[in-house]
Amino acid sequence: MVFTDQLGNKIELKQKPRRIVSLVPSQSEFLWDIGLCSELVGISKFCIHPDKMFQSVERVGGTKELNIEKIRALKPDLIIGNKEENQKEQIEILQKEFNVWMSDIYTFDDAFEMMRRIGEITEKDTEVKTLLNQLNNTLPKIKNTFANVSVAYFIWNKPYMFAAGNTFINFLLEYLGFKNVLGGSARYPELSEEQLRNLQPDYCFLSSEPFPFKEKQVEEIQKIVPQSRIILVDGELFSWYGSRLLQLPAYVEELKSKLKSP
């Protein structure tokens, strides 16, 4: 069978993959959740959910610093990665030796398509269909929950870096009704304190990943933008595009409470 990934690359599999290496946290969790526990032989060191998977499956380095030799030793018949999460040069090395299926995700539609295609490859169509039905029933209920609220979404500290346009985080913010004050900028811009001061967002969201913002940073940033409210947010719920999306509606309710409290 010939399968095409989200970058247009084709892979050919003679049978259902029995040894899978997943290089992206959200996709590893998705594979585990649809019942591929025994097939998953390798994950990145950032694939921390669920804990049972993290503790039991071989880790093959970071998403951008893969241990190619470890991957070779695992003899995978399928490797699953992502354009943004993984380094192009390392993926090209792996593509010369293995079947590598790459995702490229900016929207819910992209995420659903990734899940459908991986379900087809791994013969987990039924499990994926059940998951997608749940998402299609629940996600529309939280659309535009936060209309007319402006935010700046921090992903890194010193230098201050943000999620801007053409990212999954920006799509999710806008889906929930937020106005991303950097939505017109490209990808992940770096701003000075003065530039940040000029944005004047209603809220600054400090993500738990990739930089683990804490109360210390809340206090520091509050001094720069005293007119904005600073909120610590769960980066996994804003950036993981697999089965973790099932947890998004409950998190939106939690976020509503955070934003209402003084």
d(CA 2, CA 17): 13
Q: What integer pLDDT is reported at residue 148 of this predicted model?
A: 85
Confidence check: pLDDT of 151 > 70: yes
Q: Write the CA distances from 242 to 70, 190, 221, 229, integer angstroms.
A: 25, 28, 31, 30
Domains along the chain? 2-138 (3.40.50.1980), 143-260 (3.40.50.1980)
* Residue closest to 11 by CA, chosen among 105, 122, 108, 85: 122
User: How many Å apart are CA 144 and CA 65, to the nearest integer?
Assistant: 37
Mean pLDDT calculated for residue range 90-113: 98
Is a pLDDT exceeding 80 seen at residue 261?
no
What is the reported pLDDT for 98? 97
What average pLDDT does this structure show over 189-209?
94
Report the distance separating Cα 187 and Cα 83, nearest Å: 14
What are the residues facing 43 on neighbouring strands?
22, 59
Q: Chain centroid to CA 35: how far?
A: 20
Task: Label residue 262 by pLDDT band (50, 70, 90).
Answer: low
pLDDT tens-digit series, residues 224-239? 999 999 999 999 999 9
